[in-house]
Amino acid sequence: MRLLLGCVSWTLVLSLVASPASASQCPVLIKQGRDAAATMNPNDTKVKDARAKLDRASSLHKEGKHTDAMREANEALGLLGVQK
């Protein structure tokens, strides 16, 4: 029982620490993607797809879904060929 309680406690602590870190990274990744997209051909399919993902990432960030926002932003950066 003590082991289970200890595991649950650590899981809670780690989730509370990770969430604020994720929250601060979303805007950085989104800005990085938008800056990169601004220098590229806006009619390119990959750029359009990346911008849509960045818009989605921004919405998810505002909803507090930081893990999902970071995933979308990172996918957009990948489409744009941006090194993270």
Domain interval for residue 35? 22-80
Instruction: Give a yes or no: residue 26 inside a domain.
Output: yes
Residue 69 is predicted with a pLDDT of: 96
Percent of the chain scoring above 70 in pLDDT? 71
Instruction: Give a yes or no: residue 3 inside a domain.
Output: no
Instruction: Give a yes or no: residue 71 inside a domain.
Output: yes
Residue 3, pLDDT > 50, answer yes
The count of domains in the chain is 1
Which of the 8 DSSP states describes residue 10? Answer: H
Q: pLDDT category, 83, cuts 50, 70, 90? A: confident
Cα separation of 38 and 9, whole Å?
Answer: 45
Contact 50, 41 (CB under 8 A): no
Contact 73, 33 (CB under 8 A): yes
pLDDT for 27-66, tens place per residue?
Answer: 999 999 999 999 999 999 999 999 999 999 999 999 999 9
